[in-house]
Amino acid sequence: MKKNRKLFAILLTFALVLSLAACGSSGGSAASTTTDSSAAEKADAAGNATGAPAEESSQDSAAVFRTLEEIQASGTINIGVFSDKNPFGYVDENGEYQGYDVYFANRIGEDLGVKINFVSTEAANRVEYLETGKVDIILANFTVTEERAEKVDFALPYMNVALGVVSPDSRVIKDLSEIGEGDQVIVISGTTAETYLSENNPEITLQKYDTYANAKNALENGNAVAWANDNTEVIAFALQNPGYTVGIPSLGSQDTIAPAVSKGNETLLKWINDEIVSLADENFFHKDYEETLIDTYGADYEDSLVVEGGVTAQ
């Protein structure tokens, strides 16, 4: 009897061991399944968020644009322009876009046979608006630089530009060395003026604004000793506002202004380049200057600023 009880106890213990081992194996498997399922769900969610498998989403996001054919089929082109940078891109008293860049934009729409949806942009948003497909073209006094050309595709130029510095007549800044340690210089965020001064004159304290209107107000309110920007802009400001002088009319290298499209949008880029070349036959950009800029700059600046057919002076 004792032997039977001992044998029964051994068998019961053995059964319990097997049961616990099975439970442990089952628990481990369940934990593993939960982890794999979570990872799969995350991957699916990433793919569904972009409309593509997760591993393809980065490639898709790198090319967000409409081709020339898609724009023509839609009947509308989205063009980014300034709304507060008179005389290049601004909204007049009737709520209509006007200016040198807008004049060109209207011709693009006419020759493409589509309506134009003007999208107001700020200097710092120009690259972003192209990268996200918010606009098809940027025509917002966009200076061509190597850094920007890594992110967008520039067409042929239609204007020359350099940097300039405007300051009050009470203290005309004729050289950057005249800017003291406690002085500040106004720049627009995302412009070549900001980049140039940050890289070449880091000792100068910059006062940064997002809009041209705020920058002009800051200078008029005496918040800084000078304003650095495209020389075309500061010359226009000085001519339109008595009491200010462009003491530095040319700073840094001579650059060009050009239309820009999303990186890789080859069909639209080619069309714009062909358009710029063909418009030279009618001296289009000289007419543009005479319609939009001559009241500001006069005739003396016309030949030095205007670029016809994408060909700059050597």
**285 and 240 housed in the same domain:** no
Per-residue pLDDT tens over the stretch 170-184: 999 999 999 999 999
Per-residue pLDDT tens over the stretch 31-82: 322 223 333 333 333 333 333 333 322 334 466 899 999 999 999 999 999 9
Give the end of a domain, one of 254, 274, 302: 254
Q: What is the mean pLDDT of the chain?
A: 84
**283 and 211 housed in the same domain:** no
3 state DSSP class of 141: coil
Given this model, what pLDDT does residue 21 score?
42
Per-residue pLDDT tens over the stretch 205-238: 999 999 989 999 999 999 999 999 999 889 989 9
Residue type, 81: V
Per-residue pLDDT tens over the stretch 120-156: 999 999 999 999 999 999 999 999 999 999 999 999 9
**43 and 174 housed in the same domain:** no
Distance CA 66, CA 58 (A): 18
**139 and 193 housed in the same domain:** no
**220 and 266 housed in the same domain:** no
Average of pLDDT values for 229-255?
Answer: 92
**Burial bucket for residue 306 (CB in 10 Å: 0-12, 13-18, 19+):** buried
Residue 268 forms part of a structural domain: yes
Report angle CA 284, 290, 291 to the nearest 5 degrees: 90
Q: Residue 240, CB half-sphere, CA atoms under 13 Å: how many?
A: 16
- CA-wise closest residue to 193 among 177, 212, 174, 178: 212
Q: How far is CA 276 from CA 10, 77, 230, 284, in A?
A: 96, 17, 22, 9
Given this model, what pLDDT does residue 62 score?
60
Look at strands 89-91 and 159-168 and give their pairing.
unpaired
The count of structural domains within the chain is: 3
Q: Residue 28, CB half-sphere, CA atoms under 13 Å: how many?
A: 5
**5 and 27 housed in the same domain:** yes
> What φ, ψ does residue 172 adopt, rounded to 5°?
-75, 120
Q: Which residues of 176-214 are buried (b: 16+ CB within 10 A; e: fewer)?
A: bebbeeeebbbbbebbbbbbbbeeeeeebebbbbebbee
Question: What CATH number should be reported for the domain holding residue 70?
Answer: 3.40.190.10
Given this model, what pLDDT does residue 253 score?
86
Distance CA 300, CA 311 (A): 20
Residue 135 forms part of a structural domain: yes
**183 and 218 housed in the same domain:** yes
Report angle CA 139, 142, 146 to the nearest 5 degrees: 135
Helix, strand and coil in the chain, % to nearest 5 = 50, 20, 25
Residue 300 forms part of a structural domain: no
**289 and 141 housed in the same domain:** yes
Structural domain including 8 reads: 1-59
